[in-house]
Amino acid sequence: MSSGNDSRRRKNYYFVDYENTGSDGLTGIENLDGDNTVFIFYSSRAGRIMFDLHVKINMSQAVIQYCKVHTGVKNALDFQLASYLGYIIRDNKESQCNYFIVSRDNGYSSLLHFWEERGINIEFVINTAGDKLHVLTTAARELKQKISERLNDSTDSAAIADIILKYKTRMEINNALVKTFQSKRGGEIYRAVKTLITR
């Protein structure tokens, strides 16, 4: 991914939550050129790759850095990824760069808002090809509509639908809503939409 025909091309930095995306998060990595740097955050829970993916990583011209996360507390990877993102932004304060968080975890949305208020644009993508998380299926569109009706607000309905579709149990959905929207708001959303959650 490059920034076009500018004489001064922007550098792209990808921060991959490998624990969340697995190998899917590195889709397209073989097509990245030397203007790209990919930080792959992994842990003992998600620390292996298949040979096919290894080949694609080796084909890439991007700078690849592996960041092993020290676990032991909840959301350890998220915290370390967020901290390193801030470090890289600070390190490049005199440059025009593009930043991407590669994850399906909507909990990073608060981080995007934090930096947006400080003039730094960060995109939320699901892989290094730059694909974004979209609700595409008919069932998912219907779910999004029902959520909007329940909340009388369509602002967060796509993110809420993504959470409901991503997790398998009500407890996981509740936890993800609380993590994404904070305790009080997450609880209110869960109570409003829980009858829409099916097995």
Contact between 85 and 14 (Cβ < 8 Å): no
Segment 142-165 shows an average pLDDT of 81
Residue 97 has a pLDDT of 94
- Judged against a pLDDT cut of 60, whether residue 92 lies above it is answered with yes
Q: Is the dihedral of CA 42, 46, 47, 50 positive or negative?
A: negative
CA distance 179 to 48: 27
Question: In the structure, what pLDDT confidence band is assigned to residue 129 with cuts at 50, 70 and 90?
Answer: very high
CA–CA dist 18, 128 (Å, integer): 11
Proportion of the chain above pLDDT 70, given as a percent: 91
pLDDT interval class at 163 (50, 70, 90): confident
Give this prediction's pTM: 0.65
For domain 11-125, give the CATH number. 3.40.50
The three-state (H, E, C) secondary structure of 17-42, written as one string? EHHHHHHHHHCCHHHCCCCEEEEEEE
Whole-angstrom distance, CA of residue 15 vs CA of residue 30: 16
Gap between the Cα atoms of 24 and 21, Å rounded: 6
To the nearest whole number, what is the mean pLDDT of the chain? 85
Half-sphere exposure (CA, 13 Å, Cβ side) for 43? 18
pLDDT in tens, 81-90: 999 999 999 9
Structure tokens at 1: 């991914």
Instruction: Quote the pLDDT of residue 104.
Output: 83
Q: Report pLDDT digits (tens) over 59-74.
A: 999 999 999 998 777 7
